Amino acid sequence: MRGWKKLRVIAMAAAASLLLSSCGAIVSKDDDYEGTINFSLALGPDSHHHEGGKAFAEKLSELTAGRIGVKFYYNNALGGEREVVEGMSINSIQMGMASTGPMGGFVRSFMLFDMPYLFEDLDHVYGVLDGEIGQELADEFLDTTNVRILSWTENGFRYETNSKQPVETPEDLQGIKHRTQESTAQIQTWSALGTDAIPMAWPEVYTALQQGVIDSQENPIATIADVRFFEVQDYIAMTQHVYSPAPMMISEKYFQSFSEADQQAILEAGEYATDIQREASAIQEDEALQLMLDEGMEKTEIDRDAFVDATRPVLEAWQDEIPRDLIGRVLEEAPSARSEEADE
């Protein structure tokens, strides 16, 4: 019996230790926290994600006189993007940066970022995310998941690559076997463009392209280069069909464990990192595109109007599915819409 009690004590101590390690040190709001925040990244060191994370860490260290550090876990070492969001929701993961791909499963409004040709350019994107709609989305995500968005950092616009032929119009995509994420909206979009849309898990994509199981995929340019798709793809079309944020987030329970002064420092560091990460994203996109061209890929410009027309039924189908007329409100923020209003 004595041995059983000893084992029980050890188990309780281990559980307490696990709780502390997963949630960070438990601190009073009146105390100054000293320690390290664990930060999950989907990409590797020196990626545009990491550049944003480093900017956050450096600013936070400056604002807290070095009391608070950041440790990065690269390439989904703490779990896939959905698992990371879930982990922050229950405070088993402290911070992370993830694409909005899985977020529509938590908050319907985030299906906005699966909509084709919703955003015209980066000025349009930043005007939306840095304004009323971006704050509304962040507030809704916090209320629903208990995860706080600190910064609308980014993956970037997404582009189509394939191993069959150059793509300039939707007709060039007819019959191409195209990989999508497991998203109804994405399947609808690529079906509308004439492809044979095939949902497939990310770890399977390179091999499937290599073996000819699929012909085509789409991603931000920096990701396409990072995964070396130029080894198994011959053509890149500048489709720019979807914009993909990669927000910087923190577990709200963990955030509330900090003093008010340190909370303010975390918020300020997140805001500071935004422009730095976006600039790194633009620089790395240019470098990655040049690398792909140097490796022999052929770039084509598309007939954007033809792609917009082909995918318009997808937007119309989702108009009432995504709350608060978000699709219409984003379209109203477009530079072309504002220009038309000015002309009137």
Give the pLDDT mean for 157-176: 98
pLDDT number for residue 181: 85
pLDDT at residue 344 in the model = 55
Is 261 a residue whose pLDDT tops 90? Answer: yes
Please indicate whether residue 212 or residue 32 has the higher confidence score (pLDDT): 212
- Residue 248 or 336, more confident: 248
The span from the CA of 298 to the CA of 292, in Å, is 8
pLDDT at res. 34: 85
Question: Hey, is 227 helix, strand or coil?
Answer: coil
pLDDT of 16 above 60: no
pLDDT at 135: 98
93 close to 254: Cβ distance less than 8 angstroms: no
Domain at 33-154+245-288: CATH architecture:
3-Layer(aba) Sandwich (3.40)
Of the segments 8-12, 79-83, 207-211, 226-230, which one has the largest average pLDDT value?
A: 207-211
pLDDT at residue 20, as a whole number: 36
> Where are the CATH 3.40.190.170 domain residues in the chain?
33-154+245-288, 158-242+293-343
Strand partners, 151: 248
Secondary-structure class of domain 158-242+293-343 per CATH = alpha beta
What is the mean pLDDT of the segment spanning 285-293? Answer: 97
Cα–chain center distance at 8:
43
- Give SS3 for 258: coil
The dihedrals phi and psi of 272, each to the nearest 5 degrees, come to: -60, -35
Handedness of CA 246, 252, 253, 259 (dihedral sign): positive
pLDDT in tens, 176-211: 999 998 889 999 999 999 999 999 988 899 999 999
93/24 Cα distance (integer angstroms): 9
User: What distances in angstroms separate CA 14 from CA 4, 6, 19, 21, one per listed residue?
Assistant: 15, 12, 9, 10
Averaged pLDDT of the chain: 90
pTM, full prediction: 0.85
Cα–Cα distance between 222 and 201 in angstroms, integer? 19
